[in-house]
Structure 1
Amino acid sequence: MITPHWYLPLERCATLDDLRAQWSPLLERHGMGPSYEPPRYSDAMLAFIGACRLPARLRLAALLALGAAFDFDLRLALGALDEEIMLDEAPWPDSVAAAVRDNGSALRVESTDPWLTAFVAGRLAGVRGTLSHDGTRLETWRAAFWDAFLQMVCRHAWSEGVALALRQGADAAADGHEALAIAARGTHVHGIDTPGEWAPQLANHDFQRILLQLLDGGLAADRLAAVALPAAASVDNSDMLEFLLAHGAQVEAGRDHALAVAARNLAFGAFAWLLEHGADIHADGEAVLAAAVETLDDTMVETVLAAGADLRAGGARAYRAAQEAEPYDLYSVEADLREKRAGMLAFLQRIERDGHASAPAGPGT
């Protein structure tokens, strides 16, 4: 089971060697290793850095010794932990002190493998050197870490983690209010109304609790309409839409944009809900029709047209959307895309000619 608490057995470790023995088996057991679909591994690292009760020196040493730098930015770990590490004022070996001591103190960590401790020291110096060369301040990476941590705990509906992130100054508005959008999607994945793979034992009400927690933490209520509404619509989460309406979302402020989002994501249930709650099918110059055309899905286009979309008024935009559509989550081969685009163009032309929708013709018809 995927869980951000994978690191709990590591809290009994006293040395880097102890951590090394359990690190990979634990990640594999929880399906959160580097080989798994993102962002499982980065979520595991964020949870370990931000919530594990091991001393900072051991957490950082574990990341440097055992972490996969291509799958997780070690500067985030440094941002979260390095201030405490530098208070320790551990000296560097005389052989390297002249080259690296200006970037901060060493790590007080030991291992029975001298090569491992040398590797940790070198990697620490390298990451600090990268920060120095980039010209970025440690405070910047500390803020980036806690913003990423907040998004991670929202993904897992981890209430205590949200509280921790907010205490540490995490910004719920970071990355376009991504933490809010994650919570608003709830358990839905591609419109399937079942608990998602991230948290098999969670339900929508767990994520709704997180939404309220973010609001209590100072998130502006108007973001519910601007961000949460389209996020819930994008995954066809009508239950979450009802929750947002019941908890103060000014639906009229965001429903038109959310309607286009629902059409673009083949979210038929959310599309119907938004229409029932007053969304304008003609909003923004027939943007909803163009969004439906971008899916290259004739059923979605038929649904939008049946709701009153005007192909003659929005024809130029719809044809352009058909020519440029790239729904790679549905079609991964360029040849398939060309065929689908041609079929959608022919479909739109028949609608204009005949005045009604019918399925696009297959190849060669």
Structure 2
Amino acid sequence: MTDRRVSMAMVASRAGVSGQTVSRVVNDSPRVDPATRTRVEQAMADLGYRPHRAARALRTGRSHTIGLVVTTLATVGNSRMLQATAEAAAERGYALTVVTAAEGVAAAFERLAEQEVDGAIVLNEASAQVSAQERPTGLRLVVVDAPSDAGLATVHSDHRGGAAAATARLLELGHATVHHLAGPADSYAANERERGWRETLAAAGIDAPEVVRGDWSADAGFAAGVALAAASAVFCANDQMALGLLRALAEAGRRVPEDVGVIGFDDVPDAANYRPPLTTIRQDFTTLAHRAVGALVADIEGADAAASHTAVIPTLLVERDSTTRH
């Protein structure tokens, strides 16, 4: 059946409940016991009923739409977070609208306010532009990749711990030191990864080599190959830069992993098909998105105050052929 031919009365008849009970389920009222809610939701699914979003907004005072603020979707990490966030929002009955922060987050927030979103998630590089003092009045926020003491709800991967694991693994394999191909200096994630690398070297009594910095792209990784051609081990701040570095090393006649051990960060879907397959630190983008959306929706629906929410998602070292005992 199409949405136009299915009414709340038909759902109520199918579920064996009153129309008021169906209305309560549609509007997420807590005044419905779990068994009844399940029966009504099953009836809606069987009949193909979908609540009218505009009418629902009038009843609840909420648009059931959340915003996502990004600076770019060109990086693999951001595009994967977009997909995971859209899926997590849909599971909770929320639509997603995406705005760019090319002109700053203030302009992005203004556009979201005009669209009457219920709240917003600020992603990665855009997070550096947000502070507690600049938080827009009435707009609930969750920030992905920002310090936990920023005065805002934050969710981030354990960038520091992942970087420490990568660096420690290269040292365990016998490398005298580990060079670092870092991300942009204004990125929280890049800075945390650099911090984990530095701390691990310091704990081993090793002076950190000079950082080579890139912009997350494979082109930047390739360009960094000149400075890193003589390195015996490199920890790259993301897999895309590692891809470019692998090509640069190959063109310089340096074999990976025989001459150079390389570890990336993210575990993008193609990492296992790099040449050689890339050892990397896996980020759990699905869990990141679900935790961010969950915290925001809880705040929107009054179940929890997102301002006090902080979540750190563990990372995992995934070993492949780009590392071997030195």
Fold agreement, TM-score > 0.5: no
Bigger-Rg structure (1/2): 1
TM-score in terms of structure 1 length: 0.27
Which of the pair is proportionally richer in helix? Answer: 1
Which of the pair is proportionally richer in strand? Answer: 2
